[in-house]
Amino acid sequence: MRSTRHPLLALAALACACDSQADGKYLGEPLASFDGYVSRAGVAPLEAAMLWQRGPPPSSNDQELATRAPVQTGFPARFTLNLYQPPPAAARRTLSPGEVPYARGNAGAVPYGIAADAAGALPASPPNAAAYGIDPNHWIIYLPSDVPPGSLMEWWLSAALPAGFHLLRVSAVDTTCIPAAQLNACAADLARRAIRDDGTANPGTARWFCRAPYRLSVALPGEQLVLDLGTVGLGPAAGSGAPCPP
């Protein structure tokens, strides 16, 4: 990510940021910019898209197209996604009552000129699925306010991040491989953050959060988005059957 600005600057953004940024229209200064490239060469004309996820993490099957950018020809095929507005209300969620709200998005690849419906959704059954794909290893997170130290959000994000847009790494976790001592330590940490630990994995409890099939960490400075064509979600899921590491 090259730049980020306070979310109040969104009040000055234009009303629609869902059109391609290659049409020559000036949309003002972006709130944030993310550089990236497509992982394969020799692909059909593509656009990079910002897809805000409306479902709970780590799902990626209910998304809203926010903005698009042309993908340059050649190898690597590069792009820059500029965000001119904060995410839509439908993408904003909270982990737990009283926690800082957030919105979660993925960078995606879509065929050039593909149309979204009135709600910003892409076709459910694309005619050429191989031309679609997301970056499964990064999420773009938007925070309308600072994350307090010692909060559940700090644990989830791996840092008490300030308000704005952030690029985070996301790693799949096989929850069947979590050692009991690690799970107990995680639950104790969340209990200190005022999350109830009743010994169960019921939704909203400490062990439910600890058993999430992914973990987040802050991306390194200069880290880029990588669109993997044909990939539509997070990597190997929990309980994939692979042997647990020693």
206 sits in which H/E element: helix 206-210
Asked if residues 227 and 49 have their Cβ atoms less than 8 Å apart, the reply is: no
Dihedral class, residue 81 (left if φ above 0, else alpha if ψ from -120 to 50, else beta): beta
The pLDDT score that the predictor gives to residue 131 is 65
30-34, 83-87, 129-133: which has the minimum mean pLDDT?
A: 129-133
Confidence of residue 163 (pLDDT cuts 50, 70, 90): very high
Q: Which two tokens stand for residue 205?
A: 């409890």
CA 48 from chain centre, in angstroms, equals: 14
Q: How much of the chain exceeds pLDDT 70, in percent?
A: 77
- CA angle 127/237/97 to nearest 5° reads 100
Compute and round to an integer the Cα radius of gyration of the chain: 19
Instruction: Give tens-digit pLDDT for 201-242.
Output: 999 999 999 999 999 999 999 999 999 887 777 765 445 556
How far apart (Å, rounded) are the C-alpha atoms in residues 73 and 84?
24
Residue 47: is it exposed, middle or buried by C-beta count within 10 angstroms (0-12/13-18/19+)? Answer: buried
Residue 76, preceding peptide bond in cis (omega within 30° of 0): yes
Asked if residues 79 and 69 have their Cβ atoms less than 8 Å apart, the reply is: yes
Confidence of residue 181 (pLDDT cuts 50, 70, 90): very high
Asked if residues 197 and 191 have their Cβ atoms less than 8 Å apart, the reply is: yes
Confidence of residue 1 (pLDDT cuts 50, 70, 90): low
Sorted by where each begins, the domain ranges of the chain are 3-173+213-229, 175-211
pTM for the complete prediction? 0.82
Mean pLDDT within 164-187: 96
